[in-house]
Structure 1
Amino acid sequence: MKDQDKNLPKTVDDKETSLVKADYQKNKLIKKGIHLMADEKLEDAVLVFEQVLRIDPGNVDALLKLGYSKFHLDDYAGALRVYDQILDIDVANSEAWNLKSLVHYQQKNYAKALDCVEKSIESDPTFGMAWYNKACYLSMLNEVPASLEALRRSIEIDVKNAKRAVKDRDFINVRIEEGFRRIVEVVVLESIRQGYHTVGAIVWTTFISKAEVEDSLHKLLEKGLIVKNEKRQGLNKIDTYDIEPELANKVGVEKKSLLGVTKKLPSSIQSLKDISESIQTTKIALEEENVENILKSLDAFIDTNKMGGMMIDQFLEDHREIRLLKVRLEDKGIEYLKENKEKINSLFENLEITVTKKIRN
C-alpha cells in the first residue's frame, strides 16, 4: 500500500504544507543570518543568505542583507552584483540604490555615488539617510550650496542627522559656511536643553571641537537663545549656560542631578490643550481632504515657535511621524492622502488619547 501511495499525485493540502515548510525554513535561516551579522561573523552570514536564495531566489530581504555583508567584507564587486540583482526585481528599491551608492563612495567614485543616491531619493523622497548621503557626496564634489540644502532636508526628516553631521569628516568642505555653523548651533542648543551646561560637558556629549562650541555659544548668546551664568567650583569660577527662560518654558528642559538622574520639568497644561485643539483642526482638514489646510495644521506640531518644542520633548515619535507625513504630502499631495487617510487618522487619534491622559494626570 505504501508503494502505491508514492505514485499518487500530490493533493492541494500536500502542496500547501510544502510551502509552509519552505517559508518556515527560509525565515529561520534569515534570522540566523541576522544573528551572525550582529556577531560580525560576516563570512558565515553570506553562506546562510545564499542558502535562503537557493530556496527563494527573488527574496529581496535576503539579497539586501547579502549585499550588506559582502560590502563589509570589502567584496565591493560582489555587493554591486547583488544590488543590481535587487534592482532587476524592483528598479524603484530605494534602499538598494542607497546601498549601491555607498559602494561607489567607498571606491571614491563620488559622481556615481551621487547618481545612485539621487535614484534612491526619487523612489522615496522621505528617506532621510539617502538625503544625508547625498549631502556627503556633494560635499566631496565641492558642491557646497547643494550639499547644505541636502543636509537641511535630511535634518528636517530626522533631527539626529544634525549631530551626525558635525562629527562627519565628509563635510570638511562646508564647515566654514554659515549654513553649516547654524547646524552646529542647533546641536549645541540641544545639548544644553538636555542638561549639559558647561563647555567641557557640551564638547564631551557632542564631539564638537572646543573652539566650535565656544563660537556657537557666542552666537546663541547674541541671538538671545541662551543665558550665561557663573558657578563656583572650589576656588575657581566656571561659566555655565542655560536656555533662555521663556524659550525653556516652550521647549522644555532637562536637569541632571549629582547622581546623573534626569528629571524633566513639567510642561504646562495650556500647551497640552493647544496640542489637543490642533489635533481637532487637523482631523477636520483630513475629513475635508484639504491638503493645503492639513499642511498648515501640521506646521503647528513642527514649528518650535508653536508646539514643536513640546512635541519633541513629550511626543518625540509622533513628532517624527508628523514631520515625515508633511514631507510626503508636500511631495505626493492628494494621491498620498487618499491612499493613507486611515493610517493618518489613526496617528492623530492615538496622539489625542495620549494627550488627554496627560491633561487628566
Structure 2
Amino acid sequence: MCNTRNLMPRIMRRFPLIVLMLAVFYARPALCADTFLASFFDTNQILLTIGIALFCVIGIIGVRFFGLFSKKMLAMYYSKRGLKLCRANNFEGALKACDKATDSMPNHAGAWFNKGIVLDKFSRHHEALKAFDKAIELKPELAIVWQNKGNVLIKLNRLEEALKVCEKAIELKPDYADAWYNKACVFARMNKKDAAFFNLKKAIALNVENKDEAKKDDDLKAYWADAVFRNIVE
C-alpha cells in the first residue's frame, strides 16, 4: 500500500532539486563555448542566452527561498503531527515527529514549544524545560511559552523560579488568566494564603472557568475548606 502520509514532505524536499535540474538543462546550450562564439553576433541568440541566464539565476534564487519555505512547512507538519500523536498517547511517535520538526528548522520557536508540550505531557520535565528555554531564546515575547515553562517548574517544585516565570508571562500579557492562576498555585505551595487568594481572584475575573479548576486542584487543596476560598470559587 502506498504511504500517502509522508508524500507531501517528500515532494517538498525534492522540488528545489527538480527546479535546479530544469534550469541547468535549458541553460546547457548557452553554456557551450562553441555555440556561444559561433553565434556571438546573432541578436536572437544573444537574447536567448541572456534569457536563459536570467532563468538560471531566478531558478537558483527560487531554490534557495523555496528551500527555506519548505523547511518551515516541514517543521510545522511534523510539529502538528507530534501534538496529534501526543493526544493519542503515542509518546515514541510524538517525540520522533517533534525531533524531525526541530531538525528540519532548528530556529523555529513553535517547533521547540510543541516539543516541550509533548515532553511535559509524558513527565520528561527536565527535557521539557530545555525545549521551552530554546523557544524562549528564539522568541522571548511569547507569553504562552513562559506560562508553560512555569507549569513545569511548579511540577518540579522550583517555586521561586516558577514565580518569576509567571510574572514574566503576565508582564507580556497582563490579561493572561492561566498565568495568574499558576501564580496563585505557586503562592499556595509557599503557604502564602493572601497572595494565593489575590491571584486566584484575578485569574477567575479573567476566566470564570478557573472557579471549577480551583475546586479540584491539589495545589489549592489546603484551602478547600477555607471560608474565604469558598467565597471566591462559589
Taking structure 1 as the reference length, the TM-score comes to 0.47
Shift of 1:61: 1.3
Corresponding residue for 2:164? 115
Corresponding residue for 2:106? 57
Assess, with a 3 A threshold, how the Cα gap between structure 1 residues 62 and 158 changes in structure 2: closer, same or farther. Answer: same
Counterpart CA distance in 1 for 2:195 and 2:110 is 32
Shift of 1:20: 4.1
Tell me if 1:86 matches 2:119.
no
Corresponding residue for 2:230? 181
Assess, with a 3 A threshold, how the Cα gap between structure 1 residues 15 and 26 changes in structure 2: closer, same or farther. Answer: same
Q: Choose which of 55, 66, 72 in structure 1 pairs with 2:115.
A: 66
Tell me if 1:140 matches 2:189.
yes
* Matched residue SS, 2:110: helix
Counterpart CA distance in 1 for 2:204 and 2:127 is 32
Counterpart CA distance in 2 for 1:20 and 1:137 is 41
Contact kept? 1:144, 1:173, Cα under 8 Å: no
User: Structure 1 runs of 4+ off > 4 angstroms?
Assistant: 7-10
Contact kept? 1:148, 1:174, Cα under 8 Å: no
Counterpart CA distance in 2 for 1:123 and 1:2 is 53
Instruction: Judging by fraction of residues, say which structure has more strand.
Output: 1
Aligned residues: 184
Structure 1 unaligned segments of length 5 or more: list them: 186-361
Counterpart CA distance in 2 for 1:17 and 1:109 is 44
Shift of 1:94: 1.6
Instruction: Judging by fraction of residues, say which structure has more helix.
Output: 2
Superposed, 1:346-361 pairs within 5 Å as none
Deviation string 1:192-247 (CA, Å, 9 cap, x unpaired) is xxxxxxxxxxxxxxxxxxxxxxxxxxxxxxxxxxxxxxxxxxxxxxxxxxxxxxxx
Assess, with a 3 A threshold, how the Cα gap between structure 1 residues 17 and 99 changes in structure 2: closer, same or farther. Answer: closer
Deviation string 1:233-275 (CA, Å, 9 cap, x unpaired) is xxxxxxxxxxxxxxxxxxxxxxxxxxxxxxxxxxxxxxxxxxx
Assess, with a 3 A threshold, how the Cα gap between structure 1 residues 27 and 98 changes in structure 2: closer, same or farther. Answer: closer
Deviation string 1:149-170 (CA, Å, 9 cap, x unpaired) is 1000001111000111112221
Assess, with a 3 A threshold, how the Cα gap between structure 1 residues 129 and 69 changes in structure 2: closer, same or farther. Answer: same
> What is the RMSD computed on CA atoms of the aligned residues?
2.3
* Matched residue SS, 1:125: coil
Corresponding residue for 2:74? 25
Structure 2 unaligned segments of length 5 or more: list them: 1-23, 32-55
* Matched residue SS, 2:145: helix
Corresponding residue for 1:168? 217
Counterpart CA distance in 2 for 1:93 and 1:31 is 18
Counterpart CA distance in 1 for 2:184 and 2:222 is 11
Counterpart CA distance in 2 for 1:133 and 1:78 is 21
Counterpart CA distance in 2 for 1:56 and 1:39 is 25
Corresponding residue for 1:152? 201
* Matched residue SS, 2:224: coil
Contact kept? 1:97, 1:120, Cα under 8 Å: yes
Contact kept? 2:110, 2:135, Cα under 8 Å: no
Q: Choose which of 62, 78, 96 in structure 2 pairs with 1:13.
A: 62
Taking structure 2 as the reference length, the TM-score comes to 0.70
Higher relative contact order (CA 8 A, sep 6+): 2
Please tell me the residue identity of whatever aligns with 1:63.
Answer: W
* Matched residue SS, 2:222: coil
Shift of 1:134: 0.8
Assess, with a 3 A threshold, how the Cα gap between structure 1 residues 37 and 88 changes in structure 2: closer, same or farther. Answer: same
Shift of 1:104: 1.9
Percent of aligned pairs sharing the same letter: 24
Contact kept? 1:140, 1:173, Cα under 8 Å: no
Counterpart CA distance in 2 for 1:29 and 1:94 is 23
